[in-house]
A and B are shown apart, each in its own frame.
Chain A
């Protein structure tokens, strides 16, 4: 008998973002939001109505957006910067480095609609380099939450953190992947499924797909471990070394370039501590025209693609 499971509900993590910012602002009058004409795309209309003076819209100007946030932090505020990831990371990169990271400013950068969320709008609007660029900057926490619960908790952790934090906020629908009692911690991975043959390490929108791939692998008799790595920096090296030692093969999956992101970070830890065969799944080259879901499929970032990559890797592992 075949059981047909209902499709899981999908969530836009921007909803968790605005609910969390509203809650933080209600509890702490130091909380302000700085944005770049992105009230609508950040879903901040309600916040603007409720806290008109605490929503600082600087217009379409990312450099001053980050600089203003640094100045607000100097003035005792807890700014949350919100804007499309593609623009705020690229146009504001030097400000993120100097005004936030090097200055240790208590600013949270909320990067909306990262990866290929803007699908058909093309490579100008894709943010597939953000983690790579930012990972080289010292004193900057990088988080890529997987679902609404983790988005909320990452933002709450950022509000408590001494220093700048970057949080990717996905708009593409994602299912809930964590149990209700999950507790996000900066620098801590979450083992969502145990296994001994191969480890799938993913973050953001790719976590649910890695979990689905593990189910496909189980059908083949392969026990895949699934690790969610919401913090790319600082990295949970112990969890990676454990995966290498205990499963002997690692596939990383990210909605990001294969150059310099999660996969590269994991590879750095693997070669330093316990070299094992690896595959890094992500984007390579400017993406062609297509919706976000088309592009993810096109680049093999779906359960079937992850399953195929893991199967191939297991062949290498067995020699």
Chain B
């Protein structure tokens, strides 16, 4: 199945035009992402749709990357710590031209490089192998230390789930990041409030999350994770505070914006039927 994919956005365009392209780009990524999951019969649609606007904004507009030269030393780094949301990552990487979009049709098929969780050895643009939760942020901290040692302006972004923050390794990493004042590092929490089977606050509560991150030495800000203009403004003004790593709580909705998926915990990894995909695509025109 193939549908149109967006391209990276020319940052010299007027801002309104950039925003229009970004909004539409995220919509196209969602459409292709849904098709991907329908075709594979597998995936994590709720988390993909929750993260889509953040991932699209970073890759289409913000990251200083060259998809034709994916290992350029001075590239910005993006770590998808919520590796189960590989669907939105692969769709976005294909949009940027890291690999042929036809490869998306092989998602999770036998011998495909597009495993259920990303593999940097096989997929250009993937910086870290994630899947077990709580791995991305420690790696991103190491990337930021490397950039600091090099005196490099390259920036490190790490997208984590919110339920994922229950893993203790994240708090080890938050301590190190705060202690070392890694202001090239930005962690974005996809704060949709739902983990696999229940709300985070009913499972092992995260709140007061902002206070916790602040107490660990991070500069905290909150944003609507589906508001492209707000995301773009925020990412352009990093760090949130000089001398501190940035902790962005992006308020999102699992399954957004599909009416019958939004904020519904069962869509963590439920696979939509053909009719449901058609209905969802109707809402993404």
The residues of A with any CB-CB pair to B shorter than 8 Å are 32, 34, 53-54, 56, 58-59, 61, 63-64, 66-77, 79, 94-95, 98-99, 102-104
Contacts and interface: CB of A to CB of B under 8 A. Distances in A.
Contacts, number: 105
A99 B140 CA distance: 11
A68 B137 CA distance: 9
Interface residues of B, number: 33
B206 to A, nearest CB: 19
Q: Which 6 A-B pairs have the closest CB atoms?
A: A71-B142, A75-B146, A67-B138, A68-B142, A64-B172, A61-B172
Contacts of A73: 142
A61 B146 CA distance: 19
Interface centre among A32, A59, A74, A102 (most CB of B within 10 A): A74
A71 B179 CA distance: 17
A76 B147 CA distance: 9
Contacts of A95: 135, 138, 169
A68 B131 contact: no
Interface stretch (B89-97, B119-127, B195-203, B258-266): B119-127
Given A98-B135, A99-B129, A67 B146 contact: no
Q: Is the interface of B mostly helix, strand, loop or mixed?
A: helix
A103 B120 contact: yes
A11 to B, nearest CB: 32
Contact of B129 (A68, A72, A76, A103): A103
Q: Is the interface of A mostly helix, strand, loop or mixed?
A: helix
Interface in B112-156: 119-121, 127-132, 134-135, 137-147, 149-150
Interface string B153-183: 0000000000000001100110110010000
Interface in B11-51: none
Contacts of B143: 71-72, 74-75
Contacts of B135: 67, 94-95, 98-99
Interface of B: 73, 77, 119-121, 127-132, 134-135, 137-147, 149-150, 168-169, 172-173, 175-176, 179
A77 B175 contact: no
A68 B141 contact: yes
A74 B132 contact: no
B149 A54 contact: yes
Contacts of A53: 149
Contact of A67 (B77, B120, B121, B142): B142
A298 to B, nearest CB: 36
